[in-house]
Structure 1
Amino acid sequence: MTEQTLSKRQRKAAEIARAREWLAEQFPAVFGGKGGVPIAIGGHQQAHDAAKAEDGPPSWAIQGALRKWTRHPAYLEALTTGATRYNLDGTPGGAVTAKQAEKAAHQLAEFRRRWKAEKAAKAKSGAKRPFLTLKKGAKQ
């Protein structure tokens, strides 16, 4: 699919994915893995400043990538009281407070509740995965 045939939503998602890749290249100590590294307060500004200085992704794409990162279950699980937050260069940048840990635990519980509800709704509706079709000539 070419860039011109993508919908606006698809182009936006692709730009956010590129911003995520840029963050991983620029700040591997924090974004190089699969998640779970708490970002220091103000880390978003560090990312925006670096993107501006290096002609990186647009600000809205950086914000979208950071939003996806900080809402991921692995990230929320890492936000425990006293856990170290990191600046984007990998240096320690503070600690997670009890209030922040409590909020993260609440968000994680809500995420899991919604995920289970969606999974149950799909099972109830009998929704089938389209790529699990029978091969031509196979017995049913």
Structure 2
Amino acid sequence: MSREEFRPTGPVPGQRPPAGALGLRVRRPNPGQAVLEVSGELDMATAPQLARALDELRSSPDRVLLVDLAGVGFLGSSGLAVLVNLHRELEPGRLLRIVAPSRDAYRAFAVTGLAGELPLYRSYEDALATL
């Protein structure tokens, strides 16, 4: 069984998807942990794709769901809303970690006041260190 799953609409690893597209890649680096790597533009047009991918992860037995926004070039309010909904609806005993290493992505959370409400981390390592 592979530890990685690739979505057919996802980007080629290491490459950003075309403008207006969203790349999604799921990895399972450790048992009980699912990492959703998001790349491209997260806006009103692509937020439904993110919501569907996160719904699939929610149906998995993984206890830790980590959303890695390192490859996101634009993070709009629709994308933020999807992440807020996931955080609010996550079942007890499950953990969400959101990695927003870029200044622009982190700023989107900060200016909306979500940086204090969501489990937000500046690096993948920081997100996993708190487990």
Which TM-score applies when normalising by structure 2? 0.31
Q: If each structure's strand is expressed as a fraction of its own residues, which one has the higher value?
A: 2
Which TM-score applies when normalising by structure 1? 0.30
Please tell me whether Structure 1 or Structure 2 has the larger radius of gyration of its CA atoms.
1
* Greater RCO structure (CA 8 Å; 6+ sep): 1
Q: If each structure's helix is expressed as a fraction of its own residues, which one has the higher value?
A: 1
